[in-house]
Structure 1
Amino acid sequence: MVHIRTVRLAALGISAALVMTACAESERGDDDGQSGGGQTGGTMTFATEGAPKLFDPFYATDGATFRTSQQIFEGLVEFKPGTADAEPGLAEKWESSEDGKTWTFNLRKGVKFHDGTDFNAEAVCFNFNRWYNQTGAGQSPAVTGYWQDNFGGFADGKTPSLYESCAATDESTVELKVTRSTSKLPDILGLPSWAMQSPEALQKYKADEVVAQGDSFVYPEYATEHPTGTGPFKFSKYDEANGTVELVRNEDYWGEPAKLDKLIFRAIPDETARKQALEAGDIDGYDLPGPADWEGLKSAGHQLLIRPAFNIFYLGIGQKNVAQLRDLKVRQAIAHAIDREALVKQQLPEGAEVAENFYPDTVTGWTDEVESYDYNPDKAKQLLTEAGAQNLTVNIYWPTEVTRPYMPSPRDLFGLIQGNLEAVGIKLTVVSKPWNGGYLEDVDSGKADLFLLGWNGDYNTPDNFVGNFFSDPNNRFGTGNSPWGATLSDEIKAADSEPDADKREQMYVELNKKLKSEYLPAVPISHSPPALVVTKDVSGLVASPLTDERFDTVSIASS
């Protein structure tokens, strides 16, 4: 599983409202009220922390690709700007069968792809069947990780799939069938991975011809030069040398046209360099300003847009390599050793909170009845002694060359955690690697005994958090090496498949209790609010708890 992913969220209870003979209907016309006033025209340049790897969102795993995709493409389901609410996108309404296995989507009419071809029910099913029928390199987890994480296997039947079939019952009606009820639907369809793409362009530019080349992949012309969606912006060009993407307004957009003539995303990996570019007037805004810079940016007259904290930062405890880490008392000792309150107060921005569950309290099934591990070094030492682990020696990984919304300064966060663990007698072998230069690979392959990581929620279901973390026993935590690993996996899958919303919520409450008292595969540490910053000349940009900002409502004053 790759963890540079777009942060997504849906409203509390939205899935519950839609599972049992559910129905959602659009109240949005061509103008949803978000565009407001403001000047039309001009170019906005926004700096991101990385360059996109490609422009086909189905094959994407990185946030920079998703940010671009969110302007070019649209899905059947979207997320209301600035909120946690799932809302109609290219589907005006939907409903599910009582057993949650059949979903009927009524599509918006009069929508065209950027190449002038029609968006209709056949196009929707073409996209679903394209995803399901991947072969060869297209089945690599590095290429279609999102499909495999969320829908499972492919048409060859080697691995079970959530997807069963898609049928166009008429030009504007789609019947989607899945193999079991899941809490993921319909919210999951708001992810960029499931955006609708032009069937004609996909075929013309051979979108599925991905080729493995050593440990990397070569993507076809469609993914690098011809992404074709229905969104308010169209792809114009990409300067790979400078990591700069240029988008232009879609004059034939079905809804309210974008106000900007052009939108440019410019990759500036270093946060200090992003800040300097803003101060120099080279850019109009940037993502993930460091918490230490927030007050200074506001004092300089810039606008700081703070997103709600829909994430989790945790210390992972691998159980693959060191047998002592499979002892619950040892894991509890580690939890008691960490001063989470001090970490939140000293290292994280205002609004950050200590985490008790593995997801925020806006997600169904969160409970305050979990076991809480207060900062207690003496208790930690006692537990280590009881477990015969007074001389515990483990490696601990922390990432370099990265800033994550839940982990704004990895070095500083690691320093505090390191000091806490060493203070109770745990001997640490420290390993630091670049985020995209070995860190994620080592952690995902189980090399790390302890590791700093987190998750930005994709949408508001517990499964998007605990399911992504622990449902597969062969995960980065090595839970398959513990006697309860398979049980935890089964409990997660059972909860996700429960069609009754009230029963499902209670199942997650009980699961959260066991995750803290019986399993403890990691120590949940904090929820931290990320931000973005724009100049005073920018208006209409709505901060999203999902980092799902849409720039079609943005205006920029003439300088």
Structure 2
Amino acid sequence: MFTKSSRKPLGLLAVAAALTLVATACAESDRDSGDGDQPFVFGAAGDITSLDPFLTNDGETYRYSRQVFETLLDHESGGSEIVGGLAETWDQSEDGTVWTFNLRDNVTFHDGDEFNAEVVCANFDRWNNLTGAYQSSNLSYYWQSIFGGFAEPDEDFSTGESRYVSCDAEDELTAVIEISEYSSIFPGGFSLAAFGIMSPTTLETMEGQEVTGDEGNLSLPDFAQNAGSLAGTGPFTVEEWNQDQAEVTLNRHEDYWGEAAGFETMILRGIPDETARRQALEAGDIHGYDLVAPADVAPLEDAGFQVPTRDVFNVLYMAYQQESHDALGEMEVREALSHAVDRQRIVDTILPEGGEVATQFHPDTLDGWSEDVRTFDYDPDKARDMLADAGYEDGFDVEFCYPTEVTRPYMPAPKDIFDVITEDLQEVGVNVEATPYEWSVYSGQVDSGNCPMYLLGWTGDYNDAYNFIGTWFSTHNDAWGMDEDELFDKMTEVSTNPDEEARVAGYQELNEMVMDALPGLPISSSPPSIAFAPEVEPPNVSPLTQENFGEASWK
């Protein structure tokens, strides 16, 4: 740094001062450009709920688990098309009941165990043979949604008959899974993060672990003390789950079969409040966060942060639980409430740019969306007249639930959305009794039918209409409290039809049937944003919110 051409030698104090300035400048440069040894810290909308992704239906848990446990199939980076995961290629029989997976060679688990067809089958057999409280839909929701039930259904949890028949290892790299009937759920179901493949040693660790407590208050097996013993095949290994700090620490898996992760260490930090997430990014405490408040997008971009926006693949709705409130059981009342809500105001004032009013229970980016559903324009005068015709000229009281301490891709500001809807309902004479729940208990209250009206939504897991409307309307459930056997039977008929053209036409008819039954009011679909510091090379952002952080790195 000091050349022989300097005219005078610097004194020792001057040299020391100069070196101090250089060191400070270098440190600041490291912070600005990203240090390869510095942990990448990402602000998630909440903490994970389990180290075992099978035992959750929570998106934040899946954000963690996708980095650690890979699935047989995956989605293209930044898109929704199904591609190979741990299986390079796959085939299905003509009747759609036999699925053959040709597995990747030379893949090892984090603990050194070998990946092969036998361990694939061991994982699927483990899930199918779980008993007792594991069969609670609050723990094994996705298994029951995709595979119907378990080998030995527990009558205390009313699980259905299992769609899973068997898994056979034809050879070391060929796994054959048989199901009992064709369903449009597949192959998308094989891509779900809940079905991340674990090593044989990890399965042994989990054997004999019990779920304790009662339905609604279940305690999961605690692996937090030995998180490092849980091994998948992904680009990161799990080192620690600090539940007190709501942090999960992941380390780069140096022997990953694909391209090595760009970050040596990644920390997922739960920060439920969206303002606190933004402030943490601005302060340099984190290097990225999800679900940016729409009002924060432009200011962050102006300050030099990167704020990519995902494509729309979600829907927000207001639900009417028909069994818990007499008025909501009446079609004319539900129609009136649907006319009372100014959904365009929600889109214009709360949602990010690109949001749109929803007309049905899945976005128009999916095949099966129909132009012929009945719609409900904002018309408070009509709403008041309909309520009067139904015998509620003086209105009525209704409990309305909404979640707190959470944001979701389809619901960036729950309280703000709730306030707009409440104002609209009260304008037509409906007295809203606000009932907030923390997110950790909210879904349980909704699923149990304890909320006459509530806000909820869905971000698609895979590119099929059934993943939306089939999730809600394939059978009676307490969340909706609706009895529509014709609709339920039609859902089964359509989703099990292997003829794609006929299936898409069937989904269009189903969307029309759902809106005729009016179990709730679709509110909106919106493109959620995700933010990164200037020094980060972000991963491809996914419309399914399934980012692979192994793609990201320091610039």
**Could you tell me the TM-score, scaled by structure 1's length?**
0.88
**Equivalent residues of 1:202, 1:222 under 8 A apart:** no
Q: Which runs of 4+ in 1 moved over 6 A?
A: none
Distance 1:487 1:60, change over 3 A: same
Q: Residue 239 of structure 1 corresponds to which residue in structure 2?
A: 242
Q: Could you tell me how far apart the structure 2 residues matched to 1:325 and 1:392 are?
A: 10
Instruction: Determine helix, strand or coil for the equivalent of 2:149.
Output: coil
The code of the aligned residue for 1:546 comes to L
The code of the aligned residue for 2:544 comes to L
Instruction: Determine helix, strand or coil for the equivalent of 2:139.
Output: helix
Counterpart check, 1:130 vs 2:142: no
For residues 510-546 of structure 1, the C-alpha deviation after alignment (integer angstroms, 9 at most, x for no partner) is: 1111211x20100001001111101110014211111
Instruction: Determine helix, strand or coil for the equivalent of 1:335.
Output: helix
2:533 to 496, 515, 535: 535
Q: Residue 279 of structure 1 corresponds to which residue in structure 2?
A: 282
The code of the aligned residue for 1:431 comes to T
The code of the aligned residue for 2:310 comes to R
Q: Residue 512 of structure 2 corresponds to which residue in structure 1?
A: 513
Distance 1:222 1:422, change over 3 A: closer
Distance 1:212 1:363, change over 3 A: same
Q: Residue 87 of structure 1 corresponds to which residue in structure 2?
A: 83
Distance 1:504 1:267, change over 3 A: same
Counterpart check, 1:165 vs 2:166: yes
1:523 to 516, 521, 537: 521
Q: Could you tell me how far apart the structure 1 residues matched to 2:481 and 2:83 are?
A: 37
Q: Residue 200 of structure 1 corresponds to which residue in structure 2?
A: 201
Q: Residue 216 of structure 1 corresponds to which residue in structure 2?
A: 218
Q: Could you tell me how far apart the structure 1 residues matched to 2:141 and 2:226 are?
A: 19
**Equivalent residues of 1:55, 1:224 under 8 A apart:** no
Distance 1:223 1:100, change over 3 A: farther
Q: Residue 487 of structure 1 corresponds to which residue in structure 2?
A: 486
Distance 1:53 1:208, change over 3 A: farther
Q: Residue 25 of structure 2 corresponds to which residue in structure 1?
A: none
Distance 1:236 1:524, change over 3 A: same
**Equivalent residues of 1:138, 1:208 under 8 A apart:** no
Q: Could you tell me how far apart the structure 1 residues matched to 2:102 and 2:37 are?
A: 34
**Equivalent residues of 1:207, 1:223 under 8 A apart:** no
Q: Show structure 2 runs of 5+ residues with no match.
A: 1-33, 155-159
Q: Show structure 1 runs of 5+ residues with no match.
A: 1-37
Q: Could you tell me how far apart the structure 2 residues matched to 1:399 and 1:240 are?
A: 22
Shift of 1:428: 2.3
Q: Could you tell me how far apart the structure 2 residues matched to 1:139 and 1:222 are?
A: 22
For residues 398-452 of structure 1, the C-alpha deviation after alignment (integer angstroms, 9 at most, x for no partner) is: 222211111111111111111111212223222222222x432222211222111
The code of the aligned residue for 1:166 comes to C
Q: Residue 6 of structure 2 corresponds to which residue in structure 1?
A: none
Q: Residue 289 of structure 1 corresponds to which residue in structure 2?
A: 292
Q: Could you tell me how far apart the structure 2 residues matched to 1:207 and 1:224 are?
A: 15
Distance 1:423 1:351, change over 3 A: same
The code of the aligned residue for 2:534 comes to K
Q: Could you tell me how far apart the structure 2 residues matched to 1:439 and 1:41 are?
A: 39
Instruction: Determine helix, strand or coil for the equivalent of 2:347.
Output: helix
Shift of 1:222: 8.2
User: Percent identity of the aligned residues?
Assistant: 43
The code of the aligned residue for 1:359 comes to H
Shift of 1:143: 2.0
Shift of 1:194: 0.9
2:412 to 408, 415, 433: 408
The code of the aligned residue for 1:202 comes to L
Counterpart check, 1:76 vs 2:72: yes
Shift of 1:44: 1.0
Instruction: Determine helix, strand or coil for the equivalent of 1:142.
Output: coil
Distance 1:222 1:421, change over 3 A: closer
**Equivalent residues of 1:336, 1:376 under 8 A apart:** yes
Q: Following superposition of structure 1 onto structure 2, how do residues 82-121 of structure 1 map, counting pairs within 5 Å?
A: 82-121=78-117
Q: Residue 545 of structure 2 corresponds to which residue in structure 1?
A: 547
RMSD between superposed Cα atoms in Å: 1.8
Q: Which has the larger radius of gyration?
A: 2
Q: Residue 264 of structure 1 corresponds to which residue in structure 2?
A: 267
The code of the aligned residue for 1:424 comes to V
Q: Residue 48 of structure 1 corresponds to which residue in structure 2?
A: 44
**Equivalent residues of 2:192, 2:461 under 8 A apart:** yes
Give the number of the structure with larger relative contact order, counting CA–CA contacts within 8 Å between residues 6 or more apart.
Answer: 1
**Equivalent residues of 2:81, 2:463 under 8 A apart:** no
2:452 to 449, 455, 462: 449
Instruction: Determine helix, strand or coil for the equivalent of 2:161.
Output: coil
1:468 to 466, 471, 479: 471
**Could you tell me the TM-score, scaled by structure 2's length?**
0.89
Shift of 1:56: 1.1
Q: Residue 499 of structure 1 corresponds to which residue in structure 2?
A: 498
**Equivalent residues of 1:54, 1:224 under 8 A apart:** no
Instruction: Determine helix, strand or coil for the equivalent of 2:138.
Output: helix
How many pairs are equivalent? Answer: 513
Moved more, 172-181 or 55-64: 55-64
